[in-house]
A and B are shown apart, each in its own frame.
Chain A
Amino acid sequence: MIIKQISIFVENKKGRLAEITETIAKSGANIRALSIADTTDFGILRIIVDKADDAAATLKEAGITVSVTNVIAIGIDDTPGAFSVPMRILSDAGIDVEYMYAFITRKSEKAYVILRVADNDTAAKVLMDKGVELLDEEGFHSLM
């Protein structure tokens, strides 16, 4: 129930994001979801791609600071209040969410959220126990 995510350190300078995404394209990987958090000087680009290890290796070779981490992805109904359900479950279990970002797809009516928590396995278990839909790599990429 774990999905690989790539985090990339990006300096805020003209054209840099274009160069980095071009490098990812060169590895043959396709970006499925992304988020970028930034300050005035630098940002962290987080992406989910179909070939995470290839993309990370290509980025590393290009001298870019990059890490691969495990995250979880959940599917939620597109109805008011639906998102609060998994948040409440995690909160009650004492699991802090470090960051998250959402995406939608053309193949499904649902909305999807990528979650980064300290302990993926425990989070996945409590969510599944309460009936929340969790995606594995295969399930995730079949949505695209």
Chain B
Amino acid sequence: MKHQIWNKEMECMKRSDLKALQLERLKALVDYCDKNSKFYHERFEKNGITADKIKTLSDIQYIPYTTKDDLRDTYPFGMLSVPQKKIVRVHASSGTTGNPTVVAYTREDLDNWAEQVARLVYAAGTTDESIVQICFGYGMFTGALGLHYGLERIGATVVPTSSGNTEKQLKFMRDFGTDTIVATPSYCLYLAESARERGIEFPMDSYKLKTGLLGSEGCTPEMRKQIEESWGNGFFCTDNYGMSELNGPGMSGECMMRDGLHINEDHFLCEIIDPKTGEVLPEGSEGEMVVTNLTKRGLPILRYRTKDITKINYEPCECGRTTARMHKIIGRSDDMLKIRGVNVFPSQVESALIGINSISPHYQLVVRREGFADNLEVRVELIDASLLEKYSELENLRKNIHDRIKNILGIEIKVSLVEPKTIERFTGKAQRVLDLRNK
């Protein structure tokens, strides 16, 4: 396997040198925020923090966490650290409730962001020869423009089709010879299926698609497999991660080994904490990831609580990079359920259900306390009427779902088949859990 590295100096640095660089950048950031950010200056004063207090990387623990609420409360420009004329772009994330969160970039911030993305797309196999179709929606969302400038940075040919209009997407893919696609996993799959449906007119070999840069939503190994098989012809996709509060895409991404997402550690300092107590956990633990963007200046963010649950592997990678790798997001701290001492996330159940065509994609988790034990019921909607002819087929379906979920969660569960449209539909982030334990 060929591994190409965009910035060898930063991506293959000795760990001790990398830590020294992070410490130097952290000190500079604290000093900068103290002098330029009204928000952080007040926080630091209240907690007695100055740049000289930071002597080691773990001294970062003196700094309080920054949350999404802090961004909302200071909407829109309360956290800026530069005069507005120095800001060259703003983005905002869709707020399902309350104010959206606004992020702002100086020219230097945009430059850093493009560099971060360039490394990830290069690690995923994209080059200056690539023709890349960006099927993320352009606009206030950071995904499309983030990838756009990163891909331009490495010299790829960018085709900014934006989202939607499947017919056009497929036409450009065929006519331009697009070999790389930027999309959410679900849209990438949808496009593949749409292409197959039109297979009589345009056989699959009229597409040259080889690489998928997937992001913006999680992608389980099962879903990835399904996407790759749907496109066929050796289509290979990698996952990348980021969030608008931390620039957007660009924080981390998979190399060709696909064994964790390499973090751009010279720009991002990550910690893992216990989401309940806020305590920092030892290296290698699973918990909520907290991120400090070391180089951002327009709207700096220190110790941002991502609410994403993951763990970080600091071992060097076979690809030659020394940067740490974060595990794919395991779940959201808000959604985390503890059942009989085991952490359970709706996303794990979701991944177990992918590829089972007899049920709808809607599911619900119901947790009950019965006696002294917590019991988890997974409710799924039966849509395949052909199974009604044989009782045993319904029982087999139930058993198959049961075994898949039990395998992933490691705890006993009960599966219930329910009628279509009986599980509540949610717009936006799904509320899949009904916890009746304290009711």
A119: Cβ under 8 A from any B Cβ? no
A110 CB to nearest B CB, Å: 27
Is the beta-carbon distance between A65 and B389 smaller than 8 angstroms?
Answer: no
- Does B386 count as interface, using CB distance less than 8 angstroms? yes
Kindly state whether residue A22 has any CB partner on chain B within 8 Å.
no
Cβ 8 A contact of A9, one of B385, B390, B421: B385
B356: min CB distance to chain A, Å: 15
| Assembled-state Cα–Cα distance A9/B386 (Å) | 11
Distance (Å) between the CB of A114 and the closest chain B CB? Answer: 13
CA distance A66 to B386 in the complex (A): 8
| A94 lies within 8 A of chain B by Cβ | no
- In the complex, which range does the number of interface residues on chain B fall in? 10 to 19
**Interface of chain A, helix or strand or loop or mixed?**
strand
Q: Let me know if A91 is at the binding interface, CB within 8 A.
A: no
Kindly specify which of A25-33, A37-45, A82-90 makes contact with the partner chain. A37-45
Q: Looking at the complex, which one of A11, A63, A69 makes contact with B389 (CB distance below 8 Å)?
A: A69
Is B99 at the interface (CB under 8 A from chain A)? no
CA distance A37 to B389 in the complex (A): 11
Encoded as 1 (CB less than 8 Å from any A CB) or 0, chain B from 409 to 439 comes to 0000000111111100000000000000000
A67 within 8 A of B: yes
State whether the Cβ of B383 lies closer than 8 Å to any Cβ in chain A.
yes
Chain B residues touching A, majority SS: mixed
Q: Is B388 interfacial (CB-CB < 8 Å)? A: yes
Whether A64 lies near B419 (C-beta < 8 A) is yes
CA distance A24 to B38 in the complex (A): 67
The residues of A that contact B372 with a CB separation of less than 8 Å are none
Tell me the chain A residues, 1-56 only, with Cβ under 8 Å from chain B. 7-11, 16, 37, 41-42, 44
Rounded to whole angstroms, the CA-CA distance of A66 and B417 in the bound complex is 14
Whether the pair A67, B389 counts as a contact (CB closer than 8 A) is yes
Q: Do A7 and B420 touch (CB < 8 A)? A: no
B237, chain A: closest CB distance, angstroms: 34
Q: A63-B421, A64-B420, A65-B419 are in contact. Are A7 and B382 (CB under 8 A)?
A: no
Q: In the complex, which residues of chain B have a beta carbon less than 8 angstroms from the beta carbon of A65?
A: 382-385, 388, 419-420
The closest CB in chain A to the CB of B418 belongs to: A11
A67-B391 contact, Cβ under 8 Å, with A11-B419, A11-B422, A41-B417: no
Output the least CB separation between A4 and chain B (Å): 13
Q: Is the CB of B389 within 8 A of A10?
A: no
Contacts of B386 in A (CB 8 A): 67
Check if B385 sits within 8 Å of A7, measured CB to CB: yes
Q: How far is the CA of A116 from the CA of B422 in the complex (A)?
A: 30
**Most A C-beta atoms less than 10 A away, residue of B389, B394, B421, B422:** B389
Q: Are B416 and A41 closer than 8 Å at their CB atoms? A: yes
What is the distance, in angstroms, from A117's C-beta to the closest C-beta of chain B? Answer: 11
- A138 located at the interface, meaning its Cβ lies under 8 Å from any Cβ of chain B in the complex: no
Task: Determine the distance from Cα of A66 to Cα of B79 in the docked complex, in whole angstroms.
Answer: 56
Interface-central residue, B385, B416, B422, by most chain A CB under 10 Å? B385
The 8 Å CB contact of B382, one of A9, A37, A98, A116, is A9
- Is the Cβ of A66 less than 8 Å from the Cβ of B419? no
Collect the chain A residues with CB atoms within 8 Å of residue B422's CB. Answer: 11
Query: Could you say which residues of chain B place their CB within 8 Å of the CB of A67?
Result: 385-386, 388-389
Are A98's CB and B389's CB within 8 A?
Answer: yes
Q: Nearest-CB distance from A37 to chain B (Å)?
A: 6
How far, in whole Å, are A10 and B388 apart by their CA atoms in the complex?
10
B382 contacts which chain A residues (CB < 8 A)? 9, 65
19 other A-B residue contacts (CB within 8 Å) besides A42-B418, A69-B389: A7-B385, A8-B388, A9-B385, A37-B391, A41-B416, A42-B417, A44-B391, A44-B394, A63-B419, A63-B421, A64-B420, A65-B382, A65-B385, A65-B388, A65-B419, A66-B388, A67-B386, A67-B388, A116-B389
Residues of chain B touching chain A, judged by Cβ–Cβ distance below 8 Å, are: 382-386, 388-391, 394, 416-422
A sample of 30 cross-chain residue pairs with beta-carbon separation below 8 angstroms, ordered by A number, consists of A7-B389, A9-B382, A9-B385, A9-B417, A10-B419, A11-B417, A11-B418, A11-B422, A16-B419, A37-B391, A41-B416, A41-B417, A42-B394, A42-B416, A44-B388, A44-B391, A44-B394, A63-B419, A63-B420, A63-B421, A64-B419, A64-B420, A65-B385, A65-B388, A65-B419, A65-B420, A66-B388, A67-B386, A98-B389, A116-B389
